[in-house]
Structure 1
Amino acid sequence: MYLIPALTLIPFIGAILIFLDSNSKRRGYVIYGTVALMMLCCFLLVGQWILQGAKPWHLYPQTGFIDLLMQVIEVFLMIFIVYKSFKHKKRWISLLAISQTVLTLWVEHSIPLVESTHTTVDSLALLMCILCSVVGGLIGVYSVGYMKSYHENHRGIIDRSNTFLALLFVFMAAMFGLVLSSNLIWMYFFWEVTSVISFLLIGYTQTDEAIDNSFKALWMNLLGGIGFAVAIWLCAMQNHSVQMQDIVSGGNTMIIGMLCLAGLTKSAQLPFSTWLFGAMVAPTPSSALLHSATMVKAGVYLLIRLAPALYGNLCGMVVAFIGGFTFITTSMMAIAQNDAKKVLAFSTISNLGLIVACAGIGVEQTVWAAIFLMIFHSVSKSMLFESVGATENSIGSRDIEHMHGLILRLPKLAYIMGIGIAGMYLAPFGMLISKWVALKAFVDSGNVLLVIFIAFGSASTMFYWTKWLGKLIAMHKPNTPDHDATRKDEYFSMGVLGVIMILLCLLFPLLAGFVVNPIVLSLFGATQDVLSMSELTTMVIMVCSVLLVPSMMFLITRMAPRDYVPTYMNGVNVGDNSHFIDSMGESKKLYLSNWYLRFEFGRRRLLRPSQIVAASVLIVTFAILLGGAIG
């Protein structure tokens, strides 16, 4: 069982070494070694678990010293938040940190709790460990080269790369601890660590915007932390136990509702979505880590754990509504964005909303879809963030309009970005298949509102992804060449993620049979074949066919003539394919732009009404739950 503590300690020790070493070359080797050990430890743990029968492990009933150490760290984090809040004149945020820390410490020292295990190793926890170690580890590898280019292109920002890289690995260590915890107090501890680390990552550049956005993320996640702390207190008072399995089987709606609040804030659902928009000011590895396999996935992980207890009750209906409503509104807002990272941010929130809606319905079919959505979203979105960051370092912009003809200008980055985009919405990639399963489950459940949300939200999704993909594959190349500033470790990370994405599609039937079905079985005690083997086989054939498309694109770009035909611009082309002489003899710049419908779907137009609707639903829900608890 030494592999379990090792899985958390390896990235933490690596973070210490990274922080202490100012030599970038040695620091890179430490990162490569830490990632390799982290992945090795994770897969050894999975192998050992399978060899021992693939049954849940419930471990560590007595953890006196570790509990005391966690309490000391909790107090330190509280003091740190209070200090930062007063330093930046946001004193009210300190109240959130103080209240939840005092409440959890009071529970631990004043309420006698039944002795129980603190760690559970099962199929869902191991899947999260694999996602964190593989996707998170590859993001760590990517960050080695990226941070060098980042500070070369951002001279005004103080180079604190060792701190930034160390925080990435502390974050991964906390995620391992969170998903392996079965005790709510342990889970809460790691939950708060991720909140504080994300606060530091978002504020890395120390600009006024970064500081404001980091505090926005902090207070929203601390609000969820209060919900978590209240759930711990209620559970301890009622059952003298703080075990997750007792909450799922107990069915106390107030406790479940408080944990759902924590899950909604961490997964950036409306009305708490704005913290994830603000995270875009941080360097790309931070965005990739927060948006793909770690931070936001902690929220949906908690809701998937709670899914069996959400079926057919008020909490489940509200969670499903908030998720579906977030899916459609943020999909529409993404249409109005031309900044690639903002598109990815809205897309992340949107897809998380669909996962949350699936968890809220709380039946085998929807949870099956939610797990697949989580897997494919983790791989695809991390690859997209990385490719956008590399493109920005190469062309000096992350504006989608500036990526016109990228397949000819920077073909390797365009291929990687294209695979990531295809993975998000095209057949037969898993995201689309999972959406189809979710739609079928929503129809079967008779939830007309969710059917409308997923139908129109998916149409919006197709709109903004198609616009972006069309820009990439446009056969237009200006005479001024683009320099590819992407480093080898960045390409290695993106390339491996691209291969994983293709393999996930090719091995879809195996993934369903040996990974997703066992998770659903462990959560519900029963499972069913959501898709028949004939359908799955057809999908694999479709994947093989789809692979011909990038191959043809590769041949086209290789066979394209090197002497490009001047573009017709309704005037005399001056020779650079970007300017023409108009009828008055003046030079005009050619500008090709997508349609963004900013007036109809802009963030300023839709965000505030969406927040009001979601907040109203939550307020009414908790008023009903409180009234029922008092009555």
Structure 2
Amino acid sequence: MAMIGFLILFPLAVALVLLLVRQNQARNVIVCASAAAIAVASIGFCLANLGAGWVGLQFHTPIVDYACMAISVALAAIILYFGILYRNVPTIVLAVVQVIGSAVFELGFAHGVHVAESLYYDSLSLLMTFIIGVVGTGICVYALGYMEDFQAHQPEGSKDRRPMFFAIMFAFLSAMYLIVFSNNMLWMFTGWEVTTVCSFLLIGFTRTDEAIKNAFRQIIMNIIGGIAFLVALYCIVLQMGTLSLRDFIEAGSAYPLIVMLPVCCLALAGLTKAAQMPFHTWLLGAMVAPTPTSALLHSSTMVKAGVFLLVKLAPVFNVCPLPSIMVVLVGGITFLLCSFMAISQSNAKRVLAYSTIANLGLIVACAGVGTPEAVWAACFLILFHAIAKSLLFLCVGTAEHHIGSRNIEDMDLLFERMPRLARFMMLGIMVMFIAPLGMLMAKWATLVSFADSGQIALVIILGFGSAATFFFWAKWLGKLAGIAACDKNVELDVHKSEWTALMLMVVLAVLACVGLPIISTVLIEPYVYSVAAVVANPTLMALYAFGGQDISGTNLWISALLAIIVIVMLFAGVGRRGKEKPAQIYLAGASVDNSRRTFRNSLSGETAATSRNWYLDSTFGEARIKPVGEWMCGILIVIALVLSTTGLPILM
């Protein structure tokens, strides 16, 4: 109890302190020390409770309920203020609807509902605790150096708003802990809305027209999800008289028809937070924010809250056909089409954004299937995605500051200009799509779960989507791996805080790949056993335990050993720069000017040697694919909500 209270309240206290600290050195000390304390506490909490099933903690006080109501009012006031300031009518209307709905619910319906075990933890909470506490704080440390450079590039005399930036980052971490530890769904809803408003403030941080536009797009879409969450709370209280997440999931697993509407509403909330089509554009818009914001939203916090809720609901999806179909199809379509659209992007951050949305779609589809294998795969997808994407976003941010571009085509010779960073970036890319590194093993488990559950359409979607994934990652990896000559090393002045965070992500990626079988045994499998009651069912246990044909423990250990070999080969020679003599450029034996990369062609003319990727915009461009996905997923969501409201799903 004390440790959970620390993890929730300490980042909030740090946020309040950082809001007041203006001195740069003092801020650096506070952020580093606080990040270390949160990371150590998170790791210690995880290690102390490895293998835990569901552990409820009896804690309830009206003070917290009133605090949640006060926070809801404060959040609504912030949204209304900015909506009025920028004359954004949809934001104002939605904020008024939500604040009235929240006030009526908390004062009129939830006031007498008592949840004895308001806090809890299980193995999925431990996984999320590790991601928030280690990956999230690592991003905060990285932001110290990055935001120093960011501020240096601002017009002279502009106000230093870094205190607000770092305060919001730590408030974000506090809200995420509240989400993953709350069995009281009212408390979870409060954390849910805090992440929405923090995201809004971070996306609009630069206050440019584009940033403000994208921030309002985010807040509108996520308020829609928040209202759906609120509708689910009304239904749960009126139908079941409880706000306990565990009681709701158990009742839904036993009597799926009575929870059809609230499950669909909670699924809609999860889809908006996880940026699934047709709500994916808010995450693309987040790219205008400083890189630490992109990394925080895309990896360890905002979007992970959405998939966390959906994975928690997996036991209900497994027996409740209507919301399961909605979630599976929306996730599958999003994975396929966003993977295709990533092919047409040359902007590195947009490639990462589309890849993020696509991978979240795969996690969503696994949650929708709801089988033990699918939940196992979803948990590993969450872990590897959080680590690899954090590493890649931070690498792109550092590269952009030092080569002046985030375009993949401008990353020629990055292996020579920024040798250590290029290796880090290559590791992140390889973790995402190359065997035997972790993400591909999780995708293989996903394929097995889809095949075993008879989801043939999802198997096809996974096949084509993974082919697209190979296409856009291989292009980028090829750019990074190309070496034509020794160039000036521009990574010598990278801030120590950036190197610290990048090294942390690299170590986490290596440990996750090498330790995959151990993580499966001590963290992932206990969660699946606890929620699916696999231990009590020998048939299901044999189906899930991965001791058989497809993804056995032996295969996981073989994968771990091969990962060690790949990683050693990638980082061999690091630190030996300068000992080799550079070779002259060789251009087919007919060089004209090596410095300009020109050679004499077959017609005795001069040709510049260039390498450029294919982006196939006419085939995979956003203008062609985006409307298709938005309409398909939008129609699926509307049909599911209508059917769950009218009661027609009973006929299923």
- TM-score normalised by structure 1 residue count: 0.95
Going from structure 1 to structure 2, the CA distance change for 1:539 and 1:582 (only over 3 Å counts) comes to: closer
- Gap runs ≥5 in structure 1: none
Contact between 1:383 and 1:497, CA under 8 Å: does it hold in 2?
yes
Going from structure 1 to structure 2, the CA distance change for 1:481 and 1:62 (only over 3 Å counts) comes to: closer
Matched, 1:261 2:261: no
Contact between 1:114 and 1:240, CA under 8 Å: does it hold in 2?
no
* Residue range with higher mean Cα deviation, 342-351 or 235-244: 235-244
User: How far did 1:154 drift?
Assistant: 4.6
After the TM superposition, which residues 372-451 of structure 1 pair with which residues of structure 2 at under 5 Å, given as runs?
A: 372-451=380-459
Structure 1 SS opposite 2:138: helix
Matched, 1:529 2:545: yes
After the TM superposition, which residues 271-286 of structure 1 pair with which residues of structure 2 at under 5 Å, given as runs?
A: 271-286=278-293
> CA offsets, 1:144-165, max 9 Å, x none?
1111122334548753112111
* Residue range with higher mean Cα deviation, 306-315 or 294-303: 306-315
Q: 1:595 aligns with which of 614, 624, 639?
A: 614
Q: Distance in 2 between matches of 1:39 and 1:153?
A: 31
User: How far did 1:121 drift?
Assistant: 1.6
Code of the residue aligned with 1:135 in structure 2: it is V
User: How far did 1:584 drift?
Assistant: 12
User: How far did 1:99 drift?
Assistant: 1.7
Structure 1 SS opposite 2:56: strand
Going from structure 1 to structure 2, the CA distance change for 1:446 and 1:406 (only over 3 Å counts) comes to: same
Q: Distance in 2 between matches of 1:550 and 1:43?
A: 28
Matched, 1:180 2:181: yes
Code of the residue aligned with 2:18 in structure 1: it is I
User: How far did 1:194 drift?
Assistant: 0.1
Contact between 1:479 and 1:576, CA under 8 Å: does it hold in 2?
no
After the TM superposition, which residues 24-35 of structure 1 pair with which residues of structure 2 at under 5 Å, given as runs?
A: 24-35=24-35
Matched, 1:605 2:621: no
Structure 2 SS opposite 1:108: helix
Q: 2:482 aligns with which of 459, 470, 474?
A: 474
Q: Distance in 2 between matches of 1:409 and 1:147?
A: 22
Name the structure 1 match of 2:149.
149
Name the structure 2 match of 1:246.
247
Q: Distance in 1 between matches of 2:240 and 2:601?
A: 79
* Residue range with higher mean Cα deviation, 354-363 or 146-155: 146-155
Name the structure 2 match of 1:134.
134
Going from structure 1 to structure 2, the CA distance change for 1:580 and 1:356 (only over 3 Å counts) comes to: same
User: How far did 1:609 drift?
Assistant: 1.5
Q: Distance in 1 between matches of 2:382 and 2:291?
A: 20
Code of the residue aligned with 2:235 in structure 1: it is L
Contact between 1:107 and 1:236, CA under 8 Å: does it hold in 2?
no
Contact between 1:120 and 1:182, CA under 8 Å: does it hold in 2?
yes
Contact between 1:408 and 1:557, CA under 8 Å: does it hold in 2?
no
Code of the residue aligned with 2:273 in structure 1: it is K
Code of the residue aligned with 1:577 in structure 2: it is R
Q: Distance in 2 between matches of 1:137 and 1:463?
A: 32
User: How far did 1:484 drift?
Assistant: 4.2
Name the structure 2 match of 1:366.
374
Q: Distance in 2 between matches of 1:350 and 1:484?
A: 35
Contact between 1:49 and 1:55, CA under 8 Å: does it hold in 2?
no
* Residue range with higher mean Cα deviation, 396-405 or 100-109: 100-109
> CA offsets, 1:430-452, max 9 Å, x none?
11001011111111111111011
Matched, 1:103 2:122: no
User: How far did 1:591 drift?
Assistant: 4.1
Q: Distance in 1 between matches of 2:428 and 2:453?
A: 32
Contact between 2:345 and 2:351, CA under 8 Å: does it hold in 1?
yes
Q: Distance in 1 between matches of 2:580 and 2:240?
A: 71
Name the structure 1 match of 2:317.
310
Q: Distance in 2 between matches of 1:39 and 1:479?
A: 38
* Residue range with higher mean Cα deviation, 375-384 or 480-489: 480-489
* Residue range with higher mean Cα deviation, 478-487 or 590-599: 478-487
Structure 2 SS opposite 1:327: helix
User: How far did 1:59 drift?
Assistant: 2.3
Q: Distance in 1 between matches of 2:626 and 2:303?
A: 20
- Gap runs ≥5 in structure 2: 253-258, 535-540
Structure 1 SS opposite 2:647: helix
Q: Distance in 1 between matches of 2:53 and 2:266?
A: 26
Name the structure 2 match of 1:7.
7
User: How far did 1:554 drift?
Assistant: 5.0
> CA offsets, 1:550-580, max 9 Å, x none?
145759976653253265697732x523567
Q: Distance in 2 between matches of 1:155 and 1:566?
A: 45
Contact between 2:205 and 2:211, CA under 8 Å: does it hold in 1?
yes
User: How far did 1:250 drift?
Assistant: 2.3
Structure 2 SS opposite 1:572: strand
Q: Distance in 2 between matches of 1:180 and 1:440?
A: 31
Name the structure 2 match of 1:345.
353
User: How far did 1:402 drift?
Assistant: 0.7
Q: Distance in 2 between matches of 1:582 and 1:529?
A: 61
User: How far did 1:503 drift?
Assistant: 1.2
Q: Distance in 2 between matches of 1:438 and 1:556?
A: 41
Contact between 1:10 and 1:37, CA under 8 Å: does it hold in 2?
no
User: How far did 1:587 drift?
Assistant: 9.2
Name the structure 2 match of 1:543.
563
Structure 1 SS opposite 2:205: coil
Going from structure 1 to structure 2, the CA distance change for 1:193 and 1:629 (only over 3 Å counts) comes to: farther
Q: Distance in 1 between matches of 2:41 and 2:569?
A: 37
* Residue range with higher mean Cα deviation, 9-18 or 393-402: 9-18
User: How far did 1:480 drift?
Assistant: 5.9
Q: Distance in 2 between matches of 1:254 and 1:5?
A: 33
User: How far did 1:538 drift?
Assistant: 1.6
Question: Cα RMSD over matched residues?
Answer: 2.4
* Residue range with higher mean Cα deviation, 437-446 or 482-491: 482-491
User: How far did 1:338 drift?
Assistant: 0.6
Name the structure 1 match of 2:62.
64
Q: Distance in 1 between matches of 2:220 and 2:164?
A: 22
Q: Distance in 2 between matches of 1:479 and 1:304?
A: 47
Q: Distance in 1 between matches of 2:496 and 2:371?
A: 44
Q: Distance in 2 between matches of 1:316 and 1:349?
A: 19
Q: Distance in 2 between matches of 1:116 and 1:315?
A: 29
Contact between 1:393 and 1:486, CA under 8 Å: does it hold in 2?
no
- TM-score normalised by structure 2 residue count: 0.92
Q: Distance in 1 between matches of 2:378 and 2:152?
A: 40
> CA offsets, 1:413-435, max 9 Å, x none?
10100110011001111110010
Q: Distance in 2 between matches of 1:60 and 1:608?
A: 48
Contact between 1:149 and 1:485, CA under 8 Å: does it hold in 2?
no
Going from structure 1 to structure 2, the CA distance change for 1:583 and 1:500 (only over 3 Å counts) comes to: same
Going from structure 1 to structure 2, the CA distance change for 1:570 and 1:322 (only over 3 Å counts) comes to: farther
Matched, 1:355 2:363: yes
Name the structure 1 match of 2:647.
628
* Residue range with higher mean Cα deviation, 13-22 or 368-377: 13-22
> CA offsets, 1:118-164, max 9 Å, x none?
11122111211111000001101111111112233454875311211
User: How far did 1:102 drift?
Assistant: 2.1
Q: Distance in 2 between matches of 1:582 and 1:154?
A: 47
Q: Distance in 2 between matches of 1:453 and 1:576?
A: 46
User: How far did 1:486 drift?
Assistant: 1.6
User: How far did 1:627 drift?
Assistant: 1.4
After the TM superposition, which residues 323-342 of structure 1 pair with which residues of structure 2 at under 5 Å, given as runs?
A: 323-342=331-350
Aligned length: 628
Going from structure 1 to structure 2, the CA distance change for 1:556 and 1:607 (only over 3 Å counts) comes to: farther
Q: Distance in 1 between matches of 2:589 and 2:142?
A: 40
Contact between 2:485 and 2:582, CA under 8 Å: does it hold in 1?
no
Code of the residue aligned with 2:307 in structure 1: it is V
Structure 1 SS opposite 2:120: strand
Structure 2 SS opposite 1:14: helix
Structure 1 SS opposite 2:300: coil
Q: Distance in 1 between matches of 2:216 and 2:159?
A: 20
Going from structure 1 to structure 2, the CA distance change for 1:110 and 1:537 (only over 3 Å counts) comes to: same
After the TM superposition, which residues 476-495 of structure 1 pair with which residues of structure 2 at under 5 Å, given as runs?
A: 476-477=484-485, 482=490, 484-495=492-503
User: How far did 1:583 drift?
Assistant: 11
Going from structure 1 to structure 2, the CA distance change for 1:163 and 1:115 (only over 3 Å counts) comes to: closer
Code of the residue aligned with 2:559 in structure 1: it is M
Q: Percent identity?
A: 37
